[in-house]
Amino acid sequence: MREVLDNGIDELNSFVSGGKFSISKAYRIMQPTWPKVPWKQLVLLKGLVPKHQFILLLAIQRRLATADRQKWGIQAAKECVLCETDAVETIDHLFFQCSHSQFIWKILLSWMGLNKPIGSWEDEVAWMAQRTTRRNPLYTALGITFAATVYHTWIERNTRRFQQQKRPKEEQVREIVLMLHTIGQNCK
């Protein structure tokens, strides 16, 4: 169980040097050959919160320990704890087939003036990657929001699975919006 609770965290610690998280060090370890990936600029976007950046990187690489991967034994329920349906928890379900995370991402997108249908995980990453190749404050904010959505979805999933605590999706939206305002303030 401990291994599960620490999922991501141990891995995260190994990329911290001198108390500072280094995403480029994480890259070198995780992708030593560093192929040209279309989402490179998305993950390296300036202004990303390091822990969000890290979870985003794991999600894109499908390295998050979702229930379908059964890292912690066969007893664990495979159903998604966010939408509480029979849907099996996979990366593709969590991002964003799941009604819980889809709600959050859709609200945040429309909050930023972008109304579009939510596609598959691959589609959303590709859509984001296209935009973060350009230096544009809106797209930078969009990238930060995307990483925050992925991070908060994963954390809520962990909290529900391992601490049996639940927060409504509206509260998560508020938390992300608040965080974005704080980042905006700090950038001024």
Binding segment for Zn ion among 71-79, 98-106, 130-138, 147-155 (CB under 5 A)? Answer: 98-106
Binding segment for Zn ion among 50-58, 97-105, 141-149, 172-180 (CB under 5 A)? Answer: 97-105
**Residue among 83 and 109 whose Cβ is closer to Zn ion:** 83
**Residue among 56 and 80 whose Cβ is closer to Zn ion:** 80
Q: Are 106 and 114 in contact (CB under 8 A)?
A: no
Number of Cβ within 10 Å of residue 141's Cβ equals 16
CA quadruple 95, 98, 100, 102: dihedral positive or negative?
Answer: positive
Candidate residues 64, 83, 91, 104; the one interacting with Zn ion per rule CB under 5 A: 83
The kind and range of the H/E element at 151 are: helix 137-163
Residue 144 found at the interface with Zn ion (CB under 5 A) = no
Candidate residues 42, 82, 128, 147; the one interacting with Zn ion per rule CB under 5 A: 82
Number of Cβ within 10 Å of residue 101's Cβ equals 26
Binding mask 18-47 for Zn ion (x = CB under 5 A): ------------------------------
Residue 81 found at the interface with Zn ion (CB under 5 A) = no
Cβ within 8 Å of residue 152, ≥6 positions away: 104, 172, 175, 176
Residue 67 found at the interface with Zn ion (CB under 5 A) = no
Rounded CA separation 119/122 (Å): 8
**Residue among 28 and 62 whose Cβ is closer to Zn ion:** 62
Q: Nearest Cα to 153, choosing from 114, 118, 117?
A: 118
Give the footprint of Zn ion on this chain (CB under 5 A): 80, 82-83, 98
